[in-house]
Structure formats: structure tokens, C-alpha cells
Amino acid sequence: MLEAFIEEHRARIVTSLQELLRIPSVEGAYVPGQPFGPEVAQALKYVLQLASEHGFPVANVDGYAGHVEFGQGDDYVAVLSHLDVVPAGSNWSHPPFAAEVHDGKIYARGAIDDKGPALSTLWALIGLKSLGYTPKRKIRLIFGLDEESGWKCVEHYFSQQPLPLGGFTPDADFPLIHAEKGVATIRMEVPADVQSMNPKVLSFDGGQRSNMVPDLASAIVDCHSETAAIEWEQKLHKEARARDWNVHINVTGAHIEIIAYGTSAHGSTPDAGVNAIIRLASLLSTQSISNASMWRAISLIDTKGKALGVESADDVTGNLTSNVGRAYLDGENYVFLVNIRYPIDQTGDGLLQRVRQTLSDKWTIQLSSDKAPLFVPLDHPVVRVLSRVYEETTGQPAIPLAIGGATYARAIPNAVAFGALLPNQPDLAHQADENWAIDDYLRCIEIYAHAMLELANTL
């Protein structure tokens, strides 16, 4: 019956996702009643209005999050997703907020992370209601608005609302995720050691978020004369060509501007991208342009955390990863934001102490944020129910996974990440040309409808 419902409403299901994806819901400046900016608020308004049109009770909790309910009773099972997205970045083949369809895929920032999966859960609920299903316990879809930044959305939401019995978040991979690495962001600051005799770095700026591999970094260098600037521009171009790096260099008087391009990726998989910050710093260092402290700092940030003294692994989640997602010159100091995904047997405070022991006293090192790891045993009821649903709806074995990403499963008890990325599909979250196949979107609606109903009838 669900398949027939999905096919009957296919056109509206697809256009509704395009409409949602066209809202550029990147976190913006605080506005009263819209703590994450008007565009993020617009995304929530769209989803709640769509739910209201289909007869569901909805709530906007002070602009921090919202929910849609189906069923009766005080206890409920929850599905947590988010409507905010990371910045689009560069190097897209199709406009990141146009939601164009090419070869059966919708291209847009948020297509797979996490607007597409969020809307698939709403259409799953619409399908259950339309077909006359009655869950034993209430089902609540919760839509967060600050998942990509600080999770203030769910913190505020659950300060006002009761916790669920359990649930899932459609913000990772199928079959399901039973373990997630801890996520620490470490702020590292070191004096710039400016040397006036050499070409002087006036500005350095790279990246947008610590949880993204940066695809662009820029610097402005004072070469003290136009003649010297032209000479340095030629040297840098020669070096960039030798390394086959995508770099643009402009000369304005005695100054040169260098822009280095990389390849964006999710901060939990730094080796999947090309870090523009490291590329730019490396290029400057080859010509002795970079301040020594900047290059020493960059050289300390490998993707395994070895140089920071935190390299480690466990049997469940694998190797620690490290990503310098943001770097800039702030007055007389370089500042680096390093995103570290650490195994489940460690803590953020422990990482901080090890980094401090590794680096010299010149450094100011702080733990900006930390999310503890998540581990749900394989025999947990939620794992058993969702594994069974996945196997019954797809015909494929459900072998639970561990990831470096952080999901809303940490925000509530008895929860895991469940999809929405199907096996053998590329993970383009936080990358250029993020997209989601329409057929996968429709398939997830069916999977999530069964999953929500089974959890509501079992927990």
C-alpha cells in the first residue's frame, strides 16, 4: 500500500523537496524569534506548513526547533533530523540552491544532509496517516535548526519538551549506525612571529567551518615593491604548476593575493578531500614567504593526529581523524580550528591534555566544543527493530556500522542513526555537487514508514 501511495503522490513528493532545498538555510545572524537567522527559520516554516496541510499537529519551539506529531498518548518515539545546512562552498557543476534534477538526481546543498532525509520522514508519516495506520505510541518528527554548528537547537528543545522513549535520526548511512566517534573542536592560537625583512603575510584566511575540509584559502603578502611582487608571483606560479595545484595569484602594486583551491569533504573524512589551508601554507613555505610559526602549525595537523600526539584507534570505530577546517591571521596571532573525531574509549578533555603536552608554551589551546562518543550494543531493542525493518524492506542484511560523524542520536536515549544513504552510494555531504537520487529518496519513505510504525508499536 505504501508503494502505491508513493507512486500516486510522486510528483508532489519530488517538488516539495525541491522547494525546501531552494531555501538557503545556512546559519545566519540572530533575529528575535529566529535564533539561527531568517532563512533557517523559513525552512522550518515550510516543513511545518506542509505537515499542517495534511492535518498533523505541529509546534515551533521558540524558533530553535519544531515538531510534527502523529498518534495519541504522552510517551512517544522520535525521529530527529535537521534543516540547516553547511555553506555551499565552491566548484559546483550546478547551482547549490537551485535543486535542479539531472540524471534522476536532485543537486543541492542539503539534498542528503539532511533536508532530503528529513522530508522523507514527513512523507512517510503522511503515508501512514493517509492509509489509516494507528501507532500504539505517538510518533514525533523533530526538526532541528543548528545541527551543523552547535546543537543549541536540541539543547533548547529538550529543555522545554520531554525526552522520547527512543528513536532514530536519518542523518548517516544504512543499514544503521550503532557507534559514533567523539567529536572535539580544538582552538589553537600561536604568535605569528612577523619578520619585516622577508615578504610579510598581511592576511591569511581559509575555511568556513571546522567540520568541513576547506576548499578555498587566501593570503595577501606584502613584497615591499612591485618588482619584487612580480618576481614572487612568477615563483609561486611555477611551484603551483609543478605540483599541479589550482592556484590564482593577483599582483596589486607591492602586494600579491594568493588563492588556493582544494576539494571539500566532510570533516569526519579528511582524506576524502583536499585541504586548501594546508595547500596554501605549503605553497607559501616553499618560497620562504610564510611566517615560520604558521607553517610549523600547519605541519602539526596531519589527518591522523600523529603530530599533535593524539593518534589512536579502537576496534569499534577505527582510527582517530583530524581536520584543520578553519585558519586565519588575527592581528599578531594565527588561529586554527581543528576538528578531531576520536575513538569511543577516549574523552575530549583527555585529547586536550595530550595536545597541550605535545606543543610548546607559545600555544594557547582550548577545547571549543566536545560531543562524547555514542555506543549502542548490537542486542539493543532499537538496533534489533531497525535491523529487522531494513532487512524486510530491502532484502539486504543489516550489518551495523560505526562512523566518525556526529548525529542527533546522541541527543536522546535509545537512539541510533538509520540511513538515509543506501549502501554503495557516494557520500557527498559537505561536498560540491551534493545530490540525492530521486529513487533513493522515494525508497527511504517506505523504509522510514515501516521503521516509525515498528518502533512506536514495540518500545
Asked if residue 294 has pLDDT above 70, the reply is no
Active site residue 103: no
Active site residue 239: no
The confidence score (pLDDT) of residue 421 equals: 97
The confidence score (pLDDT) of residue 295 equals: 65
Same fold, 2-180+374-458 and 183-371: no
Looking at 35-39, 81-85, 156-160, 265-269, which range is the least confident one?
Answer: 265-269
Cβ neighbour number for residue 245 with a 10 Å cutoff: 17
Asked if residue 376 has pLDDT above 60, the reply is yes
Mean pLDDT of the chain: 94
Interatomic CA distance for residues 396 and 448, integer angstroms:
16
Task: pLDDT band for 291, please (50, 70, 90 cuts).
Answer: low
The confidence score (pLDDT) of residue 289 equals: 66
Pick 2-180+374-458's CATH classification: 3.40.190.170, 3.40.640.10, 3.40.190.10, 3.40.630.10. Answer: 3.40.630.10
pLDDT in tens, 225-273: 999 999 989 999 999 999 999 999 999 999 999 999 999 999 999 999 9
Instruction: Output the CATH code of domain 183-371.
Output: 3.30.70.360
For the chain, give the percent of residues with pLDDT over 90.
85
Asked if residue 293 has pLDDT above 80, the reply is no
Q: Is 314 in contact with 375 (CB distance < 8 Å)?
A: no
The confidence score (pLDDT) of residue 195 equals: 55
The confidence score (pLDDT) of residue 40 equals: 98
Mean pLDDT within 89-105: 96
Position of cell 532563512?
39
Interatomic CA distance for residues 42 and 59, integer angstroms:
14
The confidence score (pLDDT) of residue 3 equals: 94
Question: Where are the domains positioned within the chain?
Answer: 2-180+374-458, 183-371
The catalytic residue among 84, 148, 222, 233 is: 84
Asked if residue 444 has pLDDT above 90, the reply is yes
The confidence score (pLDDT) of residue 197 equals: 47
Mean pLDDT within 208-222: 93
Better-predicted residue by pLDDT, 334 or 46: 46
The catalytic residue among 147, 215, 233, 434 is: 147
Residues in the chain: 459
pTM for the whole structure:
0.88
Report DSSP letters for 353-406, one per residue: HHHHHHS-TT-EEEEEEEE--EE--TTSHHHHHHHHHHHHHHSS----EEES--
